[in-house]
Chain A
Amino acid sequence: MSRQSSRATDPRKISQELFTLTYGALVAQLVKDYESDEEVNKQLDKMGYNIGIRLVEDFLARSGIGRCNDFRETADIIAKSGFRMFLGVTPSVCNWSPAGDEFSLLMDNNPLTDFVELPDDHSNLNYSNVLCGVIRGALETVQMDVSVRFVQDTLKGDNQTEIRVKFIQRLEDALPAGEE
């Protein structure tokens, strides 16, 4: 009773699709639950943050990467190791600010949006906003305070997806945030 097709399906692609679809179901639920797109963006970012602070441990354990010496190295690791390990894509790092504290991640295709079309009445929705939260959460755990936002999104008609990451400050060895 073995089915030929089962061997043809690529397991990596399946887990990718499962992830994409689950994320889609989540966004749909959020859009239903909240009235404004801004609120949905905020929730997605928050959930991303929660994922990021856990994901970074998994990432460090798996990749064996140590501490970064500068922000450029951080950017390279996010793009070449982080994104590749979890999403299977390698964004390019570009548009460095002169001070070297801000860069962009450019993606030709965003795996989160594989089966998505954005309706006209949700023009403010940053569909993949979870990524911003993940990056922020992950970097906070390694003592870097950053702000992350979407500047371009293929879902909104841009040619590529651009995520802007800005270094704010180094967090000191101290009590974890929120605990006085």
Chain B
Amino acid sequence: MADDFIFDFLHMEVVDFVQRTTNPDEKDKVISKLEQMGYRVGQSLIEKFTRDSPRFSSELDIIKFVCKDLWNGVYKKQVDNLRTNHQGVYVLQDNKFRLLTQMSSGKQYIESAPRYLAFPCGLIRGGLANLGVNCVVTAEVSTMPACKFQIMIQRT
């Protein structure tokens, strides 16, 4: 349905807006602002997602939920590959990440890719934070539209 595309349009415009209104010297601030917005959205979204689901039994269970249900809801597909070192680091690989598919399939525009991944990173972090998992989420792209999200769980 067309109503997923409206999110894509809005997201493009959000990225553009933040980029436009932030001082060019503070490149990191663009990323952190977008990440912050994603965090807010993730926090609220996860509440709606998990409203009727049973309590999670383990951390892995939570991550699996993110890979399947959250991804399906937001990006209309599942994560293609999930890897973990069993010490709190998870790598989610998506071979056709929705927000990048329209941009390129190769190296072109690779330098602007991080801007389009900050919001999704925040979304994951916000969602997990609301499930009681504190983490740092980073994204990495080598060839678009594939990308990897790394979730590092903080235990302190």
Contact = CB atoms under 8 A, between A and B. Distances in A.
Nearest to A111: B3
Interface in A1-26: 1, 3-6, 8-9, 11-12, 14-19, 21-26
Contacts of A17: 45, 48
B59 interface: no
Nearest to A55: B9
B26 to A, nearest CB: 14
B95 to A, nearest CB: 21
Chain B, interface size category, equals: 35 or more
A166 to B, nearest CB: 24
A26 B10 contact: yes
Interface stretch (B61-69, B130-138, B139-147): B61-69
B101 to A, nearest CB: 15
Contacts of A15: 1, 3-4, 7, 73-74
A42 B49 CA distance: 34
A18 B17 contact: no
A21 B127 CA distance: 13
B21 interface: yes
A141 interface: no
A39 to B, nearest CB: 11
Contact of B3 (A4, A21, A23, A87): A87
A14 B54 CA distance: 19
Interface in A21-79: 21-26, 28-29, 33, 43, 47, 50-51, 54-55, 58-59, 62
A29 B37 contact: yes
Contact of A5 (B7, B16, B52): B52
Contacts of B10: 19, 22-23, 26, 51
Contact of B45 (A21, A50, A51, A58): A21
Contacts of A14: 48-49, 73-74
A8 B52 contact: yes
Contacts of A168: none
A115 B48 CA distance: 12
B41 interface: yes
A56 B53 CA distance: 38
Q: Which of B12, B41, B51 has the most CB of A within 10 A?
A: B41
Interface in B1-22: 1-7, 9-14, 16-18, 21
Contact of B17 (A24, A43, A55): A43
B1 A12 contact: yes
A5 B52 CA distance: 6
Given A6-B68, A12-B1, 5 more contacts: A1-B61, A14-B74, A15-B73, A22-B7, A22-B14
Interface of A: 1, 3-6, 8-9, 11-12, 14-19, 21-26, 28-29, 33, 43, 47, 50-51, 54-55, 58-59, 62, 85-88, 115
20 contacts: A5-B51, A5-B54, A5-B69, A6-B68, A8-B52, A11-B73, A15-B74, A18-B41, A18-B45, A18-B73, A19-B6, A24-B40, A25-B40, A29-B37, A33-B21, A47-B13, A50-B13, A55-B9, A88-B3, A115-B44
